[in-house]
Chains A and B, each alone.
Chain A
């Protein structure tokens, strides 16, 4: 696969991933476009620049691990893995998303895509799993790292904070959590459902290194991941400031598109904007 640090190339890949997300959810007539679109730059930066992985050898023992803890954003993960060229995520089947028999299940499912590191969909559990992986790498004296993407609504789950305590206490510095801070959850805006602020202070109080990149600025994300890699003795969280539905005007910051697919006309308009 083509790994790159080049911003223009990464941005072009991100645009293509956005087009996939719109088309996939449109074809499925259901799914979660908003939280998929907000995480595009994060996943593209990880898969095409930061992470050590080999799509031709998905079980390579020393690969970095990735967990999409907010599993409902599966379309962004499927599109990114497909663009990477994983054999079990064919590009030409992306539009079978959510259909009976498709490998592209509604939420990431290892039974269908063995290259996935975890099956997710019930929120709140991925950080613990990632930290368990990090511990295993450390026990084995391995350099591979684990990345986990969390939703901002998701981190209302108590287990996230149990894991946060654990990660700092056991100094699991080979794990990086990314909070997709798009400020919207299912029922509306985070501030109206269960406010998280002061969020950076919370993570710091739990013993984590906190970096706050602009989650749509790839250079900002690259810098944040570099800071995470340089941080020793404690885990790092990226609070990625993002816009839910990013890239499609009528989806941006619109709670409706958390879990509603675009209509055919909306797909057409979105693809025009993403041309």
Chain B
């Protein structure tokens, strides 16, 4: 991608909306695709699929653990089940079932967590998922994806469907800035370098990709050349991109709408330690549950904004010297 490509970052669809629309398309293309739902279809956006393919849509009631294991059985018998719920409920209530009936037998179940992070807003911590990536990444054999915008979501939901094996896709409630032009190619496990840079690398997933782009623009005005990398696949990590970032820029900032403990940051740090140790900083939620508020108000309060990313980059540069 061009070094000085300007990003407009206009508001586009929520990633859950892109998921819902893509699911309908996939349903038309492949009759093996089935959907299980736990009383949230109008929120997770599986509602469109349920209207067009009622015979392939199964309501489970408010029963996430059962939903996950039903999906396991469907996958065992050759279907491609999508199980969707708020990420908080899908990953925590369904976790033991994910472990024993999906990860362990390595079944082809696609899990889509919506309303992830704190940007769900007013509903507050019980509905916020800030540990879902840690849980999903802990499952052997899982592929874990956190797309930045609608274009990325559509492409990666398609890619996840094309591959065989369990995949967790993390989406959000709110409309997010458009990062990608239509037609952008995505490969699971291959990070995308959005902005070239040589002083520091800003890595992110989800809505922190746009914040990292904004931070890079701020830093550029200060004469700091920041590389921006969208780590849309949290597992398996793109170790090559991480190695390059460490070797070529010598400083990495990882930003995410997730607990710092157990998120992308610690996974990148592990790879950096193994491949090419360098200075790192982390932007994320630190050892707390959030609260109710507007999505924007919460992202401000909990420091998930471009200024915090830029500040972390400056700290990293200072330590690099």
Contact = CB atoms under 8 A, between A and B. Distances in A.
Is the A/B pair a real complex?
yes
Interface of A: 28, 30-31, 71, 98-102, 105-107, 109, 112, 119-124, 153-154, 156-158, 185-187, 192-194
Given A121-B126, A122-B126, A157-B62, A187 B298 contact: no
A187 B88 contact: no
A112 B63 CA distance: 29
Given A105-B291, A122-B89, A193-B59, A31 B66 contact: no
A187 B292 contact: no
Given A107-B126, A122-B88, A100 B292 contact: yes
Contacts of B60: 156, 194
Contacts of B39: 153, 156, 185-187, 193-194
A99 B63 contact: no
A71 B63 contact: no
A216 to B, nearest CB: 24
Pairs A-B, 10 closest by C-beta atoms: A121-B126, A194-B61, A100-B293, A156-B61, A106-B124, A98-B122, A106-B292, A106-B123, A156-B62, A105-B292
12 contacts: A98-B293, A99-B292, A100-B297, A105-B124, A107-B126, A121-B123, A156-B62, A186-B40, A186-B43, A187-B59, A192-B59, A194-B60
Interface in B1-45: 37, 39-43
Residue from the set B61, B65, B66, B89 with the largest chain A CB neighbour count within 10 Å: B61
Interface residues of B, number: 32
Contacts of B65: 158
Contacts of B66: 158
B124 A157 contact: no
B301 interface: yes
Contacts of B301: 100
A59 to B, nearest CB: 23
A185 B301 CA distance: 33
Contacts of B93: 122, 124
B291 A100 contact: yes
A31 B122 contact: yes
Contacts of B61: 153, 156, 185, 193-194
Contacts of A156: 39, 60-63
Q: A28, A105, A106, A112 — which one has the most chain B CB atoms within 10 A of its CB?
A: A106
B88 to A, nearest CB: 7
